[in-house]
Each structure stands twice: as structure tokens, then as C-alpha cells.
Structure 1
Amino acid sequence: MWCFNLQGFFSLSLFIISLFGLSLASLTDLKQRIVPNKLSFFLLIGGLFLHGTWSILQGNAQAIFYSTFAMAYSFLLAYALYKVGVWAGGDVKLFAAIAALNPLNPFVAKPLLDAYGFKISHNANPFFPIELFVFTIFAMIPVSFAIILKRAEKKIRRKLIFLLIMMAAILSPFFLLNVDPYYTTVFALAMLSYLIIACLPLARVLFVKEKKITELEEGDICGESIKLVRGKVVREKGFNMRMLINYLVQYKSGELAKGNEIVSPLKARGVTLEEISKLKELVAKGKTENRILVKESVPIVPAMLLAYLVLNLLGDLLWMPL
């Protein structure tokens, strides 16, 4: 169906390459917590090459312009998140590469949906990466829940599955009885919020462990903040709004650059060799104990893969009014 015209074949090719890249990156992100640079560069060059070729075939520069433009603003967005410690470097490069491949949503399910009478709009502006970013954030919820289910004890796992089934049973009448979408959405969000709150205590336990500072490795993500205040070591465990506000204030004022804070759980890139050296020096001088909480952040790439699949099946949900 997609191969009956050149445009459809081109979109399907972009989808297959992106799906392959995101699937492979998801495996390495889950197993080794890295995204191979070679894979990201391959996808990036492939995206620019394919759109450049398409521009030549079409006789205009729109495709290569869209690809380059999407890659540029996606890199800037992801790099900003990297600078404040939300994303890791591998996530930045992969996101820019996927943007180069997909300035527009390939929307491979559109021909099938059209054939069955589902007329879903398809945005023709090069802002699909923004949509992918937004839905990646939402997709972090089911990915996190799946990891919690896998790691939790059997008894707790059964309770969580039972809770999920009960929530689905309660929500199903809203769809079967064609209740106003507004009320359905509000009720669904309320139930989702309850599920997140119920899982938070588990997440704090399952995603955090204690490790010796002398055994820290580059890239380990700290589960507590360690800073020097008037020559004394101050530790602040966990994550809270006060920590986030203090981090943003110090980042803006430049205090972080002065070395006030050594490590923070807000940095998804993990600890650097320089930061590890400072911590080991404090341990050697007896200023702090040889222990630190290390957390495992939720892998972003599997969430990106899930969001990519959903948007290709259901269309441009974020830009539907456009």
C-alpha cells in the first residue's frame, strides 16, 4: 500500500531506519546505559543524505532544509537539557539524529487508517521532533512502571497488576458509554496521578543503592547532593523541589562553577572524573564518609521509541488542531 507511490516509499524507509536505530539504541540503553555514538552518527548522516537525495529528485530544497532545520533546533533543545543535567550526551546526539530523519511525522499508518475511513490530519510543518519530545516525556511513565514491575517482589508485583486492572475496569465505562472526552480525560489523569503517587515509594527503593565513593565510576548518577558550605560537607538525600530551586538559582548565579556543589542527583550525565577526584579527596581527608547513594535513572531511549511508534500509528496528536 505504501509502495504505490514514491512519497509513500520514502516515508516508509525513514520509518524503518528510525525504528531500527531506536530499537538498537533502546537495547544498549537498557543493558549498558549508553547510546553508541556510531549509531547516532549513522542515523544523522543517513537522514541528511536521504533528504538531500529527495530534494534532488523533487527539484527543490525543501526536504533537506526541513531535515537540517529540525536537526539544528532539536540539538539545541536537547543540549540545553544536557547542560542542566536532565539528559545525557548520548540522548542528545540520538535525538538530533532522529530529528534529521524525521522533520515530519512519517505516519506510516495513515494509508491504512484512510482506507478504513479514519481521516486523521497530518501536520506538514517540520516540528515533529517537538511532538516526539513531548510524548517521550509522557512515555517515561509506562516505561518506569514496566521497570518497577520487573524489579519489585512478586507480592508487590501482583498488587500493582491488580491495581492496574482495577483502574482499567473503572475507566472502561467512560469509553463504552461515550462520556464527554473532557470528563474522561480528567478522570484518566486523576487515576494516572494516583498510580504515580503509589509507585513513588517503590521507585525510591528500586532505583537507588549505596556505593563506596572510592568505587565510583564516571557516569554514575548520584542519589544525593554533596556540597561544600564554609569548608564543611553537606549532604542532601533524594530529590525535592527545594533542591531543584537551589540548583537552578546556583546555576544561574554561577555558584556551581565556583565549586560550591560537587555532585547533584539532578545531573543525568552522571559524575565526571573531576568530581570523583574531589569526592575521593574529601574521603582521604576524613571530611566525609566513604559512601554515596547512586541512582539509576529511567532510560529515555525506550520511551522515545514508544512515543515514536504511537505517533506513527495515531498521527500528529499534538498538532491535531493545526
Structure 2
Amino acid sequence: MFETLLSLLSANFPIYIPILILTSIALIIASISDIRTREVPDLLNYSLIFVAIGLRAVYSATTGEWSFLVAGLIGLGVFFSFALVLFYAGQWGGGDSKLLMGMGAMFGIDLKFNIFNNNLNAINNSFNVLNALTDSFLLNFFVNMLVAGAVYGLIWSTVLAFKNRKELLAAFFEKMREKNIKLVRMIMFAAMFILLILAVFVRDFAYSVMLLSGAIIIYLTVYLWISTKAIEKVCMIKKLPPTRLTEGDWIAEDVYFNKKYICGPKDLGIEREQIALLKRLKVKFVLVKEGIPFIPSFLFGFLLTLAFGSWWIRVIA
């Protein structure tokens, strides 16, 4: 336990200490801000990026290890590209994306010499892509963040569902009656039925269990998906007046005024000019999608990485 943290602190790199402290502080502040306001201040995100590059530049200039600065720039570039894809795919907000870029700059990616390596014995002069990737702090952080996010999101959704159980039940059955939902259910149940038939006639017990498991997973997935849609409708769609809107809010439905488009989901977050226009046109309210605050998953993933490192690789192996 805490193999990664001990590895970092046992290395002859004093730069580890400020990086770990500053990252921890930034993630704690960002998590609190995200839970309270559903926003992460740009000042915090940009500060994390510039401080990371600054620390790496000073360290590289002092020691002559310029690969350390290059690793930070590569980490920033890779996570910038990935965050950009997630943002324009509508999966992440701007705050999540910028914080991910800051993490990339802080811990860096260097396939030849990654000082944030979970196994310091694996650092050598040879270029080994597989070892560098599997021992990369950032890769382990990203996987741990997704795992922590899944568990955290499930708990958050369960609490929301319990608090709004009456409205949720009505929304669930309403979703069940929708035409597109009925079509999806028919397709999924047909696939489940085929798997069950195959499970009966397959002679190999292992294959039979696999097919049966697949059928159960399909069955659960259908109702989990419908439940998620119901939770989203009941718990995560809010009516807000333009005065309470902030830049970056996700608009759930298109807003028109005299048949002229004002804002909507395709905007990937409302802009200040659109908010000002809504106020000027005296629009009473808009539907805003208020997602689960995801930034705490960064903090949980970070702590999980420090404690257990690349545990997921051992599980797969």
C-alpha cells in the first residue's frame, strides 16, 4: 500500500514534494468548488498549468535534465488533446478539461525517462514503451480516476434517486412507454433471448455460463440505462432564470425567440453573450442539465494512485 507515494519520496528528486503538495491542494479546492457551485475557477486551473511548467523549467535549468521539462510539455499536450475530444463530445465541461491538462503538466509523460515511475527499478536507459506506459503515473491516475468516478457516480446517483424516489418512479415508467425506449428494449431482449437459447444448447459448460452471463448483463443494462435517463430527467434537469445562469452551463433544450435560435445543447456550454441576450429578451427560464460534480473523482483517483499505483495491471494480468 502507498507504493507509489513511497517510491516518489524515496527518489532523489526534491521537486516531488512541491508537486505533490500543490497538486493535492489544487484538487481539494477544485473538488469543494465543484460540489458547491458546479464550477472550477479558471484561475485555479491555469495556475496549476503555469506552476507545473514553471517548476519543471526551473528544475531542468538547475539540473540540466531538460527531459523533465519536455515530459511536462508532452503531458500537457497529450491531455489537452484528450480533454478537447471529451469536451467537444459533450462528455466533460471546461473545468474538468483544464484540470486534466494541469495534471498532465504536473506529472508529465516521458517514455524514455519518466521520474513519476511506480517502479523505480524499471527506469533505465533503454527505450521500453510498454514498461514506460504501464508504470506511468499519469496512465495509472487516469485509470484510477475512471474507476473512482464510476463508484462515486453510482453512489451519488443512488442518493439522488432515494431523495427523489416518488418522482423518479413516475419518470421511469414514463420512459418505459416512450417509442424509442420500447424499440431498444425489443432489440435488447431479442439479443438476450438468443443468448439464452444458445446457453441451453451449448455443450461446453464454460461457454454456457458465459452466454448466460451475457444475457443477464444485457437485461440489467436495459433497465440501468432507463433508470439513468429517469434520474437525469428528475434530478439533473433544472429550470433556471437567465439571472442564475453562468458561462459554461449545459442547456438541456433548444431555446428560440420568435423562431430565432438563441442557445441549446449543441453549443457545448452557454456563452456570456447568449446569457446577456436571454436577459435582454426577458426569457423567463431555460432548462439546464446539472451533471454530477466529477472533479472529486480526480482527487479520489489521485489518492488511489498514490496508495495502490498500477493495481489494475495486476488484476488484468
TM-score (structure 2 length as normaliser)? 0.61
Q: Is contact 1:74–1:129 with CA below 8 Å preserved after alignment?
A: no
* Secondary structure at the counterpart of residue 34 of structure 1: coil
Question: Is 1:6–2:15 an aligned residue pair?
Answer: no
Counterpart position of 1:258: none
Cα 1:60/1:4, change in 2 over 3 Å: closer
Cα 1:298/1:107, change in 2 over 3 Å: farther
Q: Is contact 2:134–2:140 with CA below 8 Å preserved after alignment?
A: no
Q: Is contact 1:48–1:100 with CA below 8 Å preserved after alignment?
A: yes
TM-superposed deviation, 1:30? 1.0
TM-superposed deviation, 1:214? 6.4
Q: 1:90 aligns with which of 95, 103, 109?
A: 95
Counterpart Cα distance in 2 of 1:34 and 1:131: 26
Larger Rg: 2
* Secondary structure at the counterpart of residue 123 of structure 1: helix
Q: Which runs of 5+ in 1 are unaligned?
A: 112-120, 158-178, 234-260
TM-superposed deviation, 1:145? 2.4
Q: Is contact 2:93–2:248 with CA below 8 Å preserved after alignment?
A: no
Counterpart Cα distance in 1 of 2:18 and 2:231: 41
- Per-residue CA deviations over 1:228-266 (Å, capped at 9, x if unaligned) read 8xx636xxxxxxxxxxxxxxxxxxxxxxxxxxx532235
TM-superposed deviation, 1:62? 1.1
Counterpart Cα distance in 2 of 1:85 and 1:65: 30
TM-superposed deviation, 1:81? 4.0
Counterpart Cα distance in 2 of 1:126 and 1:262: 48
Q: 1:71 aligns with which of 76, 97, 111?
A: 76
Question: Is 1:224–2:224 an aligned residue pair?
Answer: no
Q: Which runs of 5+ in 2 are unaligned?
A: 1-5, 121-129, 167-205
Aligned pairs for 1:168-247 within 5 A: 193=221, 195=224, 197-213=226-242, 216-226=245-255, 232=259
Q: 2:50 aligns with which of 23, 45, 66?
A: 45
Q: How many residues align?
A: 255
TM-score (structure 1 length as normaliser)? 0.60
Counterpart position of 1:60: 65
Q: Which amino acid aligns with 1:87?
A: W
Aligned pairs for 1:97-116 within 5 A: 97-104=102-109, 106=116
Counterpart position of 2:155: 146
Counterpart Cα distance in 2 of 1:263 and 1:132: 36
Counterpart Cα distance in 2 of 1:272 and 1:92: 17
Cα 1:66/1:126, change in 2 over 3 Å: farther
TM-superposed deviation, 1:321? 9.1
Q: Which amino acid aligns with 2:285?
A: R
Q: Is contact 2:94–2:248 with CA below 8 Å preserved after alignment?
A: no
Counterpart Cα distance in 2 of 1:127 and 1:307: 14
Cα 1:35/1:212, change in 2 over 3 Å: closer
Counterpart position of 1:276: 275
What's the RMSD between the two structures over aligned residues?
4.5
Q: What is the aligned-residue identity percentage?
A: 23
Counterpart position of 2:262: 262
